[in-house]
Homo-oligomer: A and B are copies of this chain.
Amino acid sequence: MAVYTEVSGEDIAAFLAQYDVGALVSLKGIAEGVENSNYLLLTDRSPYIVTLYEKRVAAEDLPYFLGLMEHLAGRGVPCPTPIHGRDGKALRELCGRPAVIVSFLEGVWPRRIQPEHCAALGEALARLHIAGADFGMSRPNALSFAGWRQLYAACKARADTVQGGLCAILEAELDHLEGAWPSDLPAGIIHADLFPDNVFFEGFRITGLIDFYFSCNDFFAYDVAVCLNAWCFERYGEFNITKASQMLSSYRGVREFSAAELEALPRLARGAALRFLLTRLYDLLHQVEGALGKPKDPLEHLRKLRFHQGVSGPAAYGLT
């Protein structure tokens, strides 16, 4: 649920005057995106999304994110395209925040994941990885080891209040992964946060990929591991091998997995589980007065981590 900044009629009217998108009909705060304020804008011409960047997104990263969306959209990835104003600029200010208008994407994100959704996702993810190849900018993954260590340090004192023994588990996992993390897998632009609420469907056809605000340069197979955790576990933590094998085989139908990527997948999946476990733990332990919504359960990703710790090879994911 994200509307942190209230935009008045006067504000949006002055903002829209700088674009050629038609006249204001309606502006409604929507429950989409966690880091930013998002509005669904209807003009007499079309729907659009207006995003105001709140402080959790670094302003210096915005040219990368906006450039990437424009690049990907130009290569057929169904993602939001920043709309340029009459002055040629896409990024400007609204209510004291950096803000953009982006194109509206049809479809609905899936609340009940079916294997067919996972198959479509695998293909779309591979196409995204290929489409990013000739993007001219790069951004390191802020939520890799250095970031995990920082998050852990900020949670350490109170982690065991969330679950007894959690500190020891996190510390052991950080140590293990630091020694075992691959160093030379195929890498490029990844989305890094492609959870179901960031993927729109019409039936089982993908109509939109959104929320590129964690995208960065990292291993392609790490992005696959994030999706494995986000799409292939059931409500009570059971791994669904049908969904995983559908997702992975349709990914491989577009972009081949190397033997090294296959072999590294269990470790990458542990890392992906640890990443979301740590960020959710941090958010839970550092709730701000007046924050909107309730924090997500970090322990969901502890269960995923436990699963991957018990995996000996990619066959557990339905792969050979």
Binding site for B on A (CB under 8 A): 1, 3, 6-12, 24-32, 40, 42, 47, 104-108, 110-112, 200-203, 290-294
A5 to chain B, nearest CB (A): 10
- Assuming A8-B111, A9-B201, A108-B26, is B31 touching A1 (CB within 8 A)? yes
| Contact among B8, B11, B40 for A40, CB-based, below 8 A | B40
CA distance A26 to B12 in the complex (A): 23
With a cutoff of 8 Å between Cβ atoms, the chain B residues found around residue A10 in the complex are 112
B108 touches A12 (CB 8 A): yes
B26 touches A28 (CB 8 A): no
- Assuming A8-B110, A290-B294, is B27 touching A30 (CB within 8 A)? no
Given contacts A26-B106, A28-B30, A291-B294, 4 further A-B pairs with CB under 8 A are A8-B108, A26-B47, A28-B40, A29-B31
A42 to chain B, nearest CB (A): 6
A111 touches B31 (CB 8 A): no
A90 to chain B, nearest CB (A): 22
A289 to chain B, nearest CB (A): 8
A107 to chain B, nearest CB (A): 6
**Which residue, A9, A24, A104, A202, has most C-beta atoms of chain B within 10 A?**
A9
CB<8 Å pairs between A and B, sample of 6: A7-B111, A8-B111, A10-B112, A25-B106, A26-B47, A40-B40
- Assuming A8-B111, A201-B9, is B31 touching A40 (CB within 8 A)? no
B40 touches A30 (CB 8 A): yes
**Can you name the residue of chain B whose Cβ is closest to the Cβ of A111?**
B8
The 7 closest A-B pairs by CB, nearest first: A29-B31, A8-B111, A9-B108, A1-B1, A6-B111, A3-B31, A28-B30
